[in-house]
Structure 1
Amino acid sequence: MAEQTTDTSNEKNGDKINHARSLTYYIFALVIGVWLYTLWADRMTPMTDQARINGQVIRISPEVSGPISEVHVVNNGLVKAGDLLLTIDPRPFELAVKAARLDLQQSAQAYEADSAAINVAKANEVAARVKVVNAKKNVERNRVLAKRGTISQATMDNIESDLETAQAGLAQATSALDKAKQEFGPRNIDNPEIQSALNKQEQALLNLNHTKLLAPADGVVTNMNLGIGDYAGAGQPILTFINNNNLWLTAMVRENSLAHLKAGNKVKIVFDSYPGKVFEGKISSIGWGSSGNGSLTEDGSTGLITSPTSSAKAQRFPVNIEFTELPEKLDLRYSGRAVIGFYPGESYIGERLQDIWVWAWSYISYVS
């Protein structure tokens, strides 16, 4: 009886060992299967959580120096194109304009006592030239936005029409000046003293115009830490402007996952700020270089977006993604994090499996 009990116990122990061994084999097989799947999926249906919302960020700098006399916007406030952001104390520049006009008058009086009509015509021509300069800058600034679709073609047509009107005004002012010169007889308008006075007046008018900083487009002013009395230095950035009407995604993708990706490929997007929801987009372009370590920052020496890879692993390259069919009320913020699943059309089964992964990630973001 004791021997029978021992044999039964040995059989049970043997069965347990066999079950444990089988379970171990299953686990190893599962791990190897998952590992092989990730290697395959990394090339056929890549996915990355190294993605950020990107956009046009402008560091607004004044063209003249002086204390700030008025601030017309609040931090993180919405602005429209052409809105007044802040005003640099204009009084010194107004005095400079007056001084330049006096210099011009004195220079003209040196050649002729009765030159009031010529001086008026010259001042009008300078003002018209300033309008043309400002109109050209406005056209150049908005032409880039029109190409990106930020502003409508109708708006761009109106802006170009303003330039034509300014140029016509300049032509009219020039014609009036020529007429005045003919009426009062020959004038040595090319005299260096008169030209110097004209240049000073034009520069003074431009400087006065530059005391008002305007919004370059519709967007948001953020990271603003200045107020009335702060000193604004010419060429020194004092405001950060984000064009929140022209946002896209930049995903940093490992180079060994780029084999099948190309512009136009469909992608699915999960935002941390919108858990449980999956959005769609498409690849607009794939970068040709990256450097360093970071996210949405640029290398000062190369101008390339830095990669978040700090070890000897595969380098990452920027893949730009444009949104499709996003809800109007979606509140996206610059540099917000996203998870991207790519659909290059290489494997139907792989893409259906990726649908499951993307769906799972959309809920994992609740606790991430």
Structure 2
Amino acid sequence: MAGRRRAVGRLIAFGIVTGFVILAIVVVERVVRHPQTDDAVVTADIIGVVPQVSGTITELHVKDNQRVKQGDLLLVVDPRPYEFALQRARAEVAALDGEIEVTERRIEGQRFAVAAARASVQRMEAQLRNATDSLHRLEPLLSREFVTPDKIDQARTARLSAAAGLDEARGKMDQAEKDVGDLEALRAKRDAALAARGKAELDLDFCYVRAQFDALVVNLHTAIGAFVAPGPVPVFSLVDTRAWYVMADYRETEFTHIAPGMEAEVYVLTNPHYRFRGSVQGIGWAVNPEDQPITPGVPQIKRELNWVHIAQRFPVRIRVENPEPPDVFRVGASAVAIIRGWPADRPVATPE
């Protein structure tokens, strides 16, 4: 009887040990095939709100931690100086338009005058050449008394008169051509005035700062009356709520089971009762080991002891496919990420 009990005890113990071994194999196989980490944080794209014009805040339409929609008015920089600048730019364009119109009318009336002036120049040049040739023919004949001095004087006078007429004709032609050149200069000035007017309109529009996307207002520490200006320091920041991500640090030894496009399961510790589906967007190509920095400008990730080898961790970026309810997601919140392999249908944001 005692031997039978011992045999049953051995069978039970063997069954328990076998069960533990099988369970251990299943757990290890599952962990290896589906890498999991709790070294993960929730993140999103964040932009600093910096006005593109300087001035005093006259209106502030948001509060810290407020949700805003795309197109919502966030703040207003005093627009009066920019309204005056726009009025001045518009007046400059209008003045140039009037001046161009007057010049065009004058040129239109002078188009035939220009043609006549050119013809007159050509005619006077011909008369000058004839008078010069005539003088050159008569001057040698004076010493032989074939011509009288009066003829020479007449020829010289004709030459001088032709030269004066030519100068006058050229002056008229130059004036007509100058008017055409003035018109081109006025048109160039108008182009510059139009650019200045566009800049003034843009500056006035920049006085009204609006949300470029659905977002959360964070780090708001200002009030009406504060002076703001373009620069590196934002007035406040906006968290882009259109897309949420989890940055999960995985050991380099687990990369054989992680690839972009794979499905992931995410739990956020602000409310771990919700399970979210995500997809791997990419694996970091560069990190700075904590004990041996390589170069600035890349993230610094701690190593992890993996049996006898200290394994380096790399960030894996996971995009959450349907971040609902939205109150669960906060930038910097802790998360747990599990890589489930290539895409498969799974429930999204289902309370457990």
Paired with 1:197 and 1:325, the residues of 2 have a C-alpha distance of 50
Paired with 1:331 and 1:112, the residues of 2 have a C-alpha distance of 65
Aligned to 2:159: none
Please tell me whether the aligned partners of residues 243 and 319 of structure 2 are also in contact (alpha carbons under 8 angstroms): no
Which residue identity lines up with residue 61 of structure 1 in the other structure? Answer: V
Paired with 2:249 and 2:316, the residues of 1 have a C-alpha distance of 6
**What's the % identity of the aligned pairs?**
25
TM (norm. structure 1) is 0.55
Which residue identity lines up with residue 225 of structure 1 in the other structure? Answer: H
Paired with 2:87 and 2:103, the residues of 1 have a C-alpha distance of 20
Matched position secondary structure for 2:314: strand
Correspondent of 1:255 among 248, 252, 255: 252
Assess, with a 3 A threshold, how the Cα gap between structure 1 residues 333 and 105 changes in structure 2: closer, same or farther.
same
Aligned to 1:307: 301
Please tell me whether the aligned partners of residues 263 and 282 of structure 1 are also in contact (alpha carbons under 8 angstroms): no
Correspondent of 1:285 among 276, 281, 286: 281
Which residue identity lines up with residue 91 of structure 1 in the other structure? Answer: R
Paired with 1:310 and 1:96, the residues of 2 have a C-alpha distance of 61
Paired with 2:295 and 2:67, the residues of 1 have a C-alpha distance of 30
Aligned to 1:201: 197
Paired with 2:295 and 2:198, the residues of 1 have a C-alpha distance of 36
Aligned to 2:9: none
Assess, with a 3 A threshold, how the Cα gap between structure 1 residues 208 and 53 changes in structure 2: closer, same or farther.
same
Please tell me whether the aligned partners of residues 89 and 200 of structure 2 are also in contact (alpha carbons under 8 angstroms): yes
Paired with 1:203 and 1:272, the residues of 2 have a C-alpha distance of 49
1:141-182 per-residue CA deviation (whole Å, 9 max, x = no partner) reads xxxxxxxxxxxxxxxxxxxxxxxxxxxxxxxxxxxxxxxxxx
1:89-110 per-residue CA deviation (whole Å, 9 max, x = no partner) reads 1011011111112222333343
Correspondent of 1:212 among 208, 214, 217: 208
The residue correspondences of 1:1-368 to structure 2 (distance < 5 A) are: 43-112=32-101, 188=184, 191-236=187-232, 237-275=234-272, 277=273, 279-292=275-288, 302=297, 304-309=298-303, 313-323=310-320, 327-328=324-325, 331-344=328-341
Please tell me whether the aligned partners of residues 276 and 322 of structure 2 are also in contact (alpha carbons under 8 angstroms): yes
Paired with 1:283 and 1:103, the residues of 2 have a C-alpha distance of 57
Matched position secondary structure for 1:191: helix
What's the offset of the Cα at 1:84?
Answer: 0.6
Paired with 1:201 and 1:90, the residues of 2 have a C-alpha distance of 15
Please tell me whether the aligned partners of residues 189 and 195 of structure 1 are also in contact (alpha carbons under 8 angstroms): no
Please tell me whether the aligned partners of residues 34 and 341 of structure 2 are also in contact (alpha carbons under 8 angstroms): yes
Matched position secondary structure for 1:195: helix
Paired with 1:239 and 1:293, the residues of 2 have a C-alpha distance of 32
Paired with 2:207 and 2:321, the residues of 1 have a C-alpha distance of 40
Paired with 1:337 and 1:283, the residues of 2 have a C-alpha distance of 18
Aligned to 1:26: none
Assess, with a 3 A threshold, how the Cα gap between structure 1 residues 60 and 300 changes in structure 2: closer, same or farther.
farther
1:101-153 per-residue CA deviation (whole Å, 9 max, x = no partner) reads 222233334344599xxxxxxxxxxxxxxxxxxxxxxxxxxxxxxxxxxxxxx
TM (norm. structure 2) is 0.58
Q: How many residues align?
A: 239
Please tell me whether the aligned partners of residues 82 and 204 of structure 2 are also in contact (alpha carbons under 8 angstroms): yes
Stretch moving more, 85-94 or 284-293? 284-293
Paired with 1:194 and 1:290, the residues of 2 have a C-alpha distance of 53
Paired with 1:193 and 1:46, the residues of 2 have a C-alpha distance of 67
Matched position secondary structure for 2:320: strand
Please tell me whether the aligned partners of residues 76 and 209 of structure 2 are also in contact (alpha carbons under 8 angstroms): yes
Matched position secondary structure for 2:44: strand
Paired with 1:55 and 1:287, the residues of 2 have a C-alpha distance of 17
Please tell me whether the aligned partners of residues 54 and 228 of structure 2 are also in contact (alpha carbons under 8 angstroms): yes
What's the offset of the Cα at 1:318?
Answer: 1.9
Assess, with a 3 A threshold, how the Cα gap between structure 1 residues 301 and 103 changes in structure 2: closer, same or farther.
farther
What's the offset of the Cα at 1:285?
Answer: 2.1
What's the offset of the Cα at 1:46?
Answer: 2.2
Assess, with a 3 A threshold, how the Cα gap between structure 1 residues 341 and 111 changes in structure 2: closer, same or farther.
closer
Which residue identity lines up with residue 192 of structure 1 in the other structure? Answer: A
What's the offset of the Cα at 1:333?
Answer: 1.2
Assess, with a 3 A threshold, how the Cα gap between structure 1 residues 280 and 214 changes in structure 2: closer, same or farther.
closer
Please tell me whether the aligned partners of residues 284 and 321 of structure 1 are also in contact (alpha carbons under 8 angstroms): yes
Computing the radius of gyration over CA atoms, which structure comes out larger, 1 or 2? Answer: 2
